[in-house]
Amino acid sequence: MIYEKAYAKVNINLQVKNKRNDGFHELESLVLPLNFCDEMIFEFSHENEVISNVYIKDNVVLKTIELFQKEFNLNKPVKVILNKKIPVGSGLGGGSANISATLRGLNKLYNLNLELNELELLANKLGSDTLFCLYNKPAIISGRGDKISFINYDEIMSVLIILLPLKILTKDVFNNHVIDTKNHANILEYNDNDLLKTLLNNNEKFNAMYHKIQQVVPHVKMSGSGPTLFVTNYTEDILKKLQLIKDINLLSVKILK
């Protein structure tokens, strides 16, 4: 039996540079891992199966198992027990984290002793943020998320995650996005998320909740394609004010070390 943690991530900023010929968008973002995670248990079984505490329509874990077995010519079936804590569709990378944790877990379960860099190709085949989630280190990601540059980063220690009762499809946000790169700066000096304006213009419920929160915290940010918002290095006063807002859930987390 193997135990793995699938850590969430937060996009501190996000630049959308252009749309590629393969349909993906060229991105650049400073991404940090969080000490908030799904828990996964791997063991051999009579058939491949994934048992989860929540229903997942697109079972990326099962797809990862099947691709891993095919890639390394493995026949012994695997059961995965997934205790999901990262909200689905929240912009915190839960699906990518599950894929990457599955790659690490299967590597250990089958006793292949592969280095993480030997799993990179599979990670990139399976998703856009999976390479970052494979390593869980502060990094600048680029391309469609398949290029990564690790950095030393200690400017942010704590993050207050603001979960909204909304489901946002990433593909819808990108489909509505009009690319504008004129304000782009060095990614480490960039304070915006290019997709925020797009979501504000195309989702009335998100717009209303965002502006209600912004009245309390003017410097609130959005992670990824939303709808999750966050505040960095927050104070107790900010926390108390946000606790008065209805229909949101707050999660206090640290940057994973």
- Comparing C-alpha atoms, which of 41, 39, 29 is closest to residue 8? 39
Distances (CA, A) of 216 to 231, 245, 254: 11, 9, 22
Cα angle 232-142-144, degrees, rounded to a multiple of 5 = 110
178 secondary structure, DSSP code: P
CA distance 131 to 147: 8
- Identify whether the C-beta of residue 248 lies closer than 8 Å to the C-beta of residue 164: yes
Number of H helices, E strands in the chain: 8, 11
As given in the structure block, the two tokens for residue 188 are: 């480490």
Catalytic residue selected from 9, 38, 84, 146:
9
Give the β-pairing of 158-163 and 249-254. antiparallel
CB 10 within 8 A of CB 31: yes
Question: Cis peptide leading into 227, omega within 30 of 0?
Answer: yes
| Residue 9 appears among annotated catalytic residues | yes
Radius of gyration of the chain (CA): 18
The yes-or-no answer on residue 129 being catalytic is: yes
Q: Which residue in the list 38, 84, 129, 194 is annotated as catalytic?
A: 129
Q: Catalytic residue positions?
A: 9, 129
